[in-house]
Amino acid sequence: MGGVRFASRNWRQEWVKLNSNRVPLSGGEWAIVARAILPQTSPLPIPPFPTPHSPYLGKMRKPLFANTLRYTRNMGGSLINLAYLVSAVLFILGLKGLSHPRTAVRGNQLGALGMLIAIVATLLNQEIISFTLVLVGLVVGAFIGLVMALRVQMTAMPQMVALLNGFGGIASALVAGASLIETTLPEVTPPVPLLQLTGATALSGIIGAVTFWGSLVAFGKLQGIINENPLQVSFLHYINGVLLLVAVVLGVLLMLNPTAVGYYWALLAVASVVGLLLVFPIGGADMPVVIALLNSYSGLAAAATGFVLNNNALIITGSLVGASGIILTTIMCKAMNRSLRNVLFGVWVPGEAGPKADDVYAGKVKATSPEEVAMLLEGARLVVIVPGYGMAVSQAQHAVRDLMQILQSQGVEVEFAIHPVAGRMPGHMNVLLAEADVPYDKLKEMDEINPRFEQVDVAIVIGANDVVNPLARIDPNSPIAGMPILDVDKARSVVVIKRSLSPGFAGIPNPLFALDNTLMLFADAREGVQGIINALKAK
Ligand code: NAP
């Protein structure tokens, strides 16, 4: 959209330059005259939507042109806004569809249709007189998007989302900046009141720059380019607060002096430092929460830019992204039993409180073998598989699907218990199991499966730890106290497949591994599952 506005400005400048030695009309008015008298012969493209700002127009031809112009502009604008409204409705329906695996594909399609309508409506905006920039952007963007979508691993999705958020944020900030620069030109009338334009531009600049740099750090930490440990610097949060205040003051100065674009660049620079300092002190494991939050920020930056451009589609979609991002952030924090403040400003020190591993495990852990597990499964009627981070690490999802199929072929009912923060990103387990074609209706959420664990013959925990740790229920001093968990310990038998007794993300021992009804299969998740399959086949 920034390209659209620039394109129209260049044209207008050219046109004014060409005609400046004739009658002193604005570029738009010249276009009306040229349209009337030179419809076929004009060497330059003629803008169909001129802006009647000049007093000359009023004096010369008001009755002839002004009404027609207003009517045509209003009609075009109304149609575009109507299309934007349709897109917004489709986005909302799309979001609703995405809330359930069964309707997710349809939801995605509805969202994509909404985006197509919004793009086409924007391209119909008759202020566009050169499509070259728009086309180049489309082709380059589509190519990069396609290559990335084809090449990215499922486990690298959080990084990919971080990058997308970051680019969304910086695009909003740059488009708002471009609009600001454009309005400093004498022949350009801002699309919205100047105070709104500068205020929204400042907001977009601050949020966009924070999002961009914050997302790059999140990407770097998850990709292993940057050390994922939290950077601990004294008074960092106070420094951040002061810098944010400086950025806001620069924004206010910009609102008071709209032509002083330098304030905007200074604001971008300060906000960029805030973005870096905000995410560096957060550990790599908390990055998914940070990414969900930055996703929300990127939406807010887009909404602010919508106020700069007076573009309803941007305002609505930006608000939707902003709201859904913050809802996701809250859900993740709740499922981890942590506050957002703790994630952002508290350094997560795993395993500080609670019992020591030796006290929990000494002499109580029973190791097992794939053959023994196969025997246990033979007598089972209902088996529930509980996947966790270890399944993602070992990419065991295909082997897990094979195990499900072989058990089903032997008349065993198999279901999957999915914890909302199992793994390292929202929906991590759902994505992996979907990739392996495990049917959606086999995936049971915590609230649905927990009341049924007492009827489960065998629960197979594959690379999960914190999400099945009963300490969350019974030890108020535990770092995970109060975190909702899957009540695996209530099943008749539990088999845990992991490589050792090492703790999970929270860094605390897990009494589940020492229960009477638990057997530990010490193995890599994929090898362990494959071993059970082989043993089942050998019978
Ligand atoms: P977890 O508590 O982190 O435990 C994962 C377990 O997987 C480890 O104990 C590890 O034990 C095992 N493992 C690692 N590699 C393995 C392999 N190749 N084969 C078999 N096992 C392997 O995982 P979780 O139960 O899924 O819980 C997720 C945790 O992450 C929660 O504490 C949650 O709050 C946190 N978190 C989640 C998100 C999210 O969005 N999902 C975001 C941030 C934080 P061994 O080393 O002994 O094998």
* Residues 137-178: tens digit of each pLDDT: 889 999 998 998 888 876 677 888 899 999 999 999 999 999
**Mean pLDDT calculated for residue range 18-42:** 39
DSSP per-residue codes, 108-150:
HHHHHHHHHHHHHHHHH-TT----HHHHHHHHHHHHHHHHHHH
Name the token pair of 401: 């699907």
DSSP state of 386: E
What is the whole-number distance in angstroms between the Cα of residue 284 and the centre of ligand 1? 13
How many A from CA of 498 to the centre of ligand 1?
10
pLDDT score of 354: 66
> Residue by residue, what is the 3-state secondary structure of 278-305?
HHCCCCHHHHHHHHHHHHHHHHHHHHHH
Judge whether residue 66 has pLDDT over 60: no
Number of helical (H) and strand (E) elements in the chain, helices listed first: 21, 6
Q: Of 21-30, 49-58, 239-248, 350-359, which one has max mean pLDDT? A: 239-248
Q: Are 46 and 34 in contact (CB under 8 A)?
A: yes
What does DSSP assign to residue 451?
Answer: G
The predicted structure's pLDDT at residue 140: 94
| Residue 42 scores a pLDDT above 70 | no
**Atom number in ligand 1 closest to CA 288:** 42
CA of 465 to the centre of ligand 1 (A): 6
Q: Give the per-residue pLDDT at 44.
A: 38
Q: What is the pLDDT of residues 84-93, one digit of tens each?
A: 999 999 999 9
Residue 8 has pLDDT above 80, yes or no: no
What is the distance between the alpha carbons of residues 255 and 199, in angstroms, rounded to a whole number?
6
Length of the chain, in residues: 539
Measured in whole angstroms, how far is the alpha carbon of residue 363 from the centre of its chain?
46
Quick: pLDDT tens for 251-304.
Answer: 999 999 998 999 999 999 999 999 999 999 888 777 888 888 999 999 999 999
Q: Per-residue pLDDT for 50 more than 60?
A: no
pLDDT of residue 61: 38
User: What is the distance in A from the centroid of ligand 1 to the CA of 462?
Assistant: 10
Mean pLDDT throughout 372-393?
96
Place of tokens 């020190």: 349
Q: What would the DSSP string read from start to end of 62-88?
A: IIIIIHHHHHHHHHHHHHHHHHHHHHH
Task: Report the C-alpha gap between 356 and 521 in whole angstroms.
Answer: 22
SS3 512: helix
43-52, 222-231, 260-269, 302-311: which has the minimum mean pLDDT? 43-52
Ligand 1 atom 16: the closest Cα is on which residue? 390
What average pLDDT does the segment 101-111 reach? Answer: 90
- Mean pLDDT over residues 82-104, rounded? 90
Question: How are strands ordered across the β-sheet holding 493-498?
Answer: 443-445, 413-418, 382-387, 458-462, 493-498, 518-522
**Listed range (59-63, 84-88, 448-452, 512-516) with the worst mean pLDDT:** 59-63
Query: Hey, whose CA ends up nearest to atom 47 of ligand 1?
Result: 500
Which residue, judged by its Cα, is nearest atom 22 of ligand 1? Answer: 390
| pLDDT above 80 for 55 | no
High-pLDDT (> 90) share of the chain, %: 55
Paired tokens of 383: 């088996």
Bridge partner list, 521: 497
Average pLDDT score over residue span 443-466 = 96
> Predicted confidence band at 45 (pLDDT cuts at 50, 70, 90)?
very low
Q: Whose CA is nearest to atom 14 of ligand 1?
A: 390
Q: How confident is the model at residue 6 (pLDDT cuts 50, 70, 90)?
A: very low
Q: How far is the CA of 496 from the centre of ligand 1 (A)?
A: 13
Q: Name the H helices within 357-450.
A: 357-361, 370-378, 389-394, 397-409, 428-435, 446-449
Check residues 370 and 26 and name the one with the higher pLDDT: 370
Residue nearest to atom 42 of ligand 1 (CA): 424
pLDDT tens-digit series, residues 226-247: 887 888 777 888 899 999 999 9
Q: Which of 328, 339, 421, when mutated, tests ligand 1's pocket best, judged by the most ligand atoms within 8 Å of its CB?
A: 421
Mean pLDDT over each residue of the chain, to the nearest integer: 83
Higher pLDDT, 371 or 237: 371
Task: Tell me, in angstroms, the distance from the centre of ligand 1 to residue 391's CA.
Answer: 9
Q: How confident is the model at residue 230, as a pLDDT?
A: 80
- Nearest alpha-carbon partner for 502 in 361, 385, 367: 361
Q: What is the pTM of this model?
A: 0.72
Nearest residue to 507 (alpha-carbon basis) of 474, 473, 471 = 471
Cβ–Cβ contacts within 10 Å for residue 184, how many?
12
Mutate which of 496, 499, 510, 529 for ligand 1? The one with the most ligand atoms within 8 Å of its CB, which is 499
Question: 29 pLDDT exceeds 80?
Answer: no
Q: Ligand 1 atom closest to Cα of 332?
A: 40
Residue nearest to atom 8 of ligand 1 (CA): 504
201's tokens = 């531009």
For CA atoms 343, 347, 349, 353, the dihedral sign is negative
Cα(464) to ligand 1 centroid in Å equals: 5
Which residue out of 221, 419, 466 has the highest number of ligand 1 atoms within 8 Å of its CB and is therefore the one to mutate? 466
Q: What is the mean pLDDT of residues 120-129?
A: 79
Residue 66 CB neighbour total at 10 angstroms: 13
Query: Which atom of ligand 1 lies at the shortest distance from residue 510's CA?
Result: 9
Tens digits of residue pLDDT in 404-432: 999 999 999 999 999 988 998 878 898 89
Which pLDDT band, with edges at 50, 70 and 90, does 73 fall under? low
Ligand 1 pocket, Cβ-based, cut-off 6 angstroms: 285-286, 288-289, 332, 336, 388-390, 393-394, 421-426, 428, 463-467, 498-500, 502-506, 524-525
**3-class DSSP state of 105:** helix
Write the pLDDT tens digit of every residue in 479-523. Answer: 788 888 999 999 999 999 999 999 998 889 999 999 999 999 999
pLDDT score, position 126:
66
Task: Name the residues annotated as catalytic.
Answer: 466
Closest of 155, 290, 138 to residue 214, by C-alpha:
290
- Phi then psi for residue 5, to 5 deg, are -70, -40
Q: What gap in Å lies between CA 400 and CA 527, rounded to an integer?
A: 10
450 CA to centre of ligand 1 in angstroms: 20
pLDDT of residue 74: 57
Q: Which atom of ligand 1 is nearest to the CA of 500?
A: 47
Q: Is the pLDDT of residue 94 over 90?
A: yes
Distance of CA 198 to the CA centre of its chain: 27
428 CA: nearest ligand 1 atom: 41
For ligand 1, atom 33: residue with the closest CA: 421
